[in-house]
Amino acid sequence: MRKEVFRADSVTCTRAGLKLLDNFSLHVFEGEVLGLFFADNRGKDEFVGLATENRAIDYGRVLFMDRQVNSYNAANSVRPGAAMRIGYVSRTEGLIGDMTVAENVFVMRRGFRKYIINKSVLTSQFAALAEEYGVSLDGSVYARDLSMADAYIIQALKAVVDGSALIIVRNACIEYGDPELTKFQQQVRRFAERGVSFIYISGDINVLTGVCDRVAAVEGGRVIRVVDRSEYTAEKLRRYHFSPGRMPVLPEAGTASMLRFDKVSFGSISKFDFSVSEGECVLLWDRMDRIRSDMRSLLSREAKPDSGEIRVRGAQISKSSGAAHISYIREVPTRSMIFSEMSCLDNLCIRAAERVPSLWMGSARRTVIRDEYRALIGDSIDADSPQGLPAESLYDLVYMREYIYNPRILVLERPFIETDIGLRMHIMSLIAMFKQRRTAILIIDSSTTDSAAVSDRMLIVGGSGITGERALGIEEGME
């Protein structure tokens, strides 16, 4: 009989009155790779926190390595926050770039107390460990120079050295079909063969079926179905597959250049040379996610290029010229671009007020905006605060705010990250509204899975700048 590593029995967790996990039950065996697909994102953060931080629960129990570590009955639990030795691999966790691979694996582990570090000894130790687990990497390489797949592999290896019997993989932003994904998943299987268990969380069902022994679908904070590898069929998985072919039909791009990078260099950006035309959507694909913050600084007009020029409608960008034409929506904008102390209507009007300050001087103009956009946003536009509104309504506030502002150029930073299937479709329809208006759109993303579906062209970012370009079309999904 296979040994059980992790078990959640009827776990219920409520936060701020919202039931995030509802009778959530799951078990993972030794050496198993279990996929978790959250159809609506509810409970995803809570589950990860429960497993890695032992957060308190309202009902149920959690067992790890045959030991009960959490229960609604405090007398039967270890203290909240007690380590369960569960590793965590995520693109947001990362490694220390200025340290070597060997140093990241050995020096940064729990309980390390050595003050004098012999790098040659560490590198030798790493070589032996890498051979044991089939990892083809040099321990003397700096972490900042690793590919995305290798960075994830080293995070997993570090967790194994740290004593983790179970590793959670989350937000591994390598899209389906990328050789990097194949490399990472092959390594996951090698770890599993050595008895390490994995919970692999992804919003792409194709990614999960490519590596997992079973896939558990979660909806409303509850596991509603578990599919074994032998049952991976289109019929069984259709409900959980996102088809870009269902996206709204978009108009063809125009020819007038709205945004132009002319041999621009700044930080991690090296001699970028490209343009985005009126009505065109261009995906800037940065697989290693290195340029995002620098692009934000440049396009938000917080910094100037070290060399080259950025032109907006033919004129060199400046604080005054750029402000009138560019809108920038950051990743997960519901966290950073929603003002909870303001009403929904005021959230909606805040950008338009930059052009028409008199919006704050009376209610008549805001009432016109409210009445005009109620059909698109719904009754949530009357809410005194955005707190508690569903994700679709919050995304409406962010995108419609910029739609009212009417920029010539819209920059989107990883627009689909941490979204479920329904929300992705909704964001696509919001992007389609800007394209109907012939706004030039630039998407900056480390994944192409969803962003490619709304883009006309993809520019591929490499270590030496933009290394390639590809025309894009709508691909059909699983039928």
Average pLDDT of every residue of the chain:
85
- Is CATH 3.40.50.300 the right assignment for the domain spanning 242-325+407-479? yes
CA dihedral 409, 410, 411, 415 (to 10 degrees): -160
Q: How confident is the model at residue 474 (pLDDT cuts 50, 70, 90)?
A: very low
- What is the end-to-end Cα distance of the chain in Å, rounded? 37
Closest CA to 143 of 195, 82, 97, 201: 97
Q: Is 285 exposed, middle or buried (0-12, 13-18, 19+ CB in 10 A)?
A: buried
* Confidence (pLDDT) at 122: 85
Give the tens place of pLDDT for each residue, 57-68.
999 999 999 888
Give the tens place of pLDDT for each residue, 172-196.
767 777 788 899 999 999 999 999 9
pLDDT at residue 109 above 60? no
Give the tens place of pLDDT for each residue, 330-373.
999 999 899 988 898 888 888 877 877 766 766 777 788 888 78
Residue 249 is given by DSSP the state P
Enter the tokens of residue 388. Answer: 């508690």
pLDDT at residue 81 above 60? no
* Confidence (pLDDT) at 377: 83
Q: How confident is the model at residue 76 (pLDDT cuts 50, 70, 90)?
A: low
Enter the tokens of residue 61. Answer: 């129990």
**Number of residues assigned to the chain:** 479
Distance CA 126, CA 399 (A): 48
- Strand bridging mode 197-201 / 166-170: parallel
Q: Is 113 exposed, middle or buried (0-12, 13-18, 19+ CB in 10 A)?
A: exposed
Quick check: do 4-95+146-241 and 242-325+407-479 share a fold?
yes
Q: How confident is the model at residue 422 (pLDDT cuts 50, 70, 90)?
A: confident
* Confidence (pLDDT) at 475: 41
pLDDT at residue 31 above 90? yes
Q: How confident is the model at residue 96 (pLDDT cuts 50, 70, 90)?
A: confident
* Confidence (pLDDT) at 319: 58
Q: What are the residue ranges spanned by the domains of the chain?
A: 4-95+146-241, 242-325+407-479, 338-406
pLDDT at residue 141 above 60? yes
Mean pLDDT of 395-408: 91
pLDDT at residue 328 above 60? yes
* Other C-beta atoms lying within 10 Å of the C-beta of residue 442: 25
Q: Is 328 exposed, middle or buried (0-12, 13-18, 19+ CB in 10 A)?
A: buried
Distinct helix (H) and strand (E) counts, the chain:
16, 20
Distance CA 212, CA 436 (A): 40
pLDDT at residue 200 above 90? yes
Distance CA 155, CA 97 (A): 12
* Confidence (pLDDT) at 476: 34
| Alpha helices for 162-287 (secondary structure H) | 179-193, 205-209, 234-237
The residue with greater pLDDT, 253 or 330, is 330
Distance CA 362, CA 358 (A): 7
Enter the tokens of residue 115. Answer: 């003050």
Q: How confident is the model at residue 326 (pLDDT cuts 50, 70, 90)?
A: very high
Say which CATH architecture domain 4-95+146-241 belongs to: 3-Layer(aba) Sandwich (3.40)
* Confidence (pLDDT) at 448: 84
Residue 331 is given by DSSP the state S
Residue with tokens 């558990």: 216
pLDDT at residue 249 above 60? no
For residue 170, list its beta bridge partners. Answer: 90, 201
Distance CA 348, CA 369 (A): 9
Residue with tokens 């270890």: 78
Q: How confident is the model at residue 264 (pLDDT cuts 50, 70, 90)?
A: very high
Enter the tokens of residue 200. Answer: 């692999």
Show the CA angle centred on residue 389, arms to residues 383 and 394, nearest 5°: 95
The residue with greater pLDDT, 241 or 200, is 200
Closest CA to 71 of 13, 19, 4: 13
- DSSP H or E segment with residue 368: helix 364-377
In three-state form (DSSP H/G/I as H, E/B as E, the rest C), the secondary structure along 424-453 is HHHHHHHHHHHHHCCCEEEEEECCCCCHHH
- What CA–CA distances, in Å, run from 46 to 9, 19, 20, 254, 304? 15, 10, 7, 45, 40
* Other C-beta atoms lying within 10 Å of the C-beta of residue 390: 11
Q: Tell me the percentage of the chain whose pLDDT exceeds 90.
A: 45
- What CA–CA distances, in Å, run from 83 to 55, 164, 291? 11, 10, 35
Give the tens place of pLDDT for each residue, 270-295.
999 999 999 999 999 998 888 999 99
Give the tens place of pLDDT for each residue, 429-459.
999 999 988 999 999 998 887 898 899 999 9
Task: Confirm if 218 and 201 have CB atoms less than 8 A apart.
Answer: no
* Confidence (pLDDT) at 241: 66
* Confidence (pLDDT) at 108: 65
SS3 call for 281: strand
DSSP labels for 76-87? GSPPTT----EE
Mean pLDDT of 319-336: 80
pLDDT at residue 43 above 60? yes
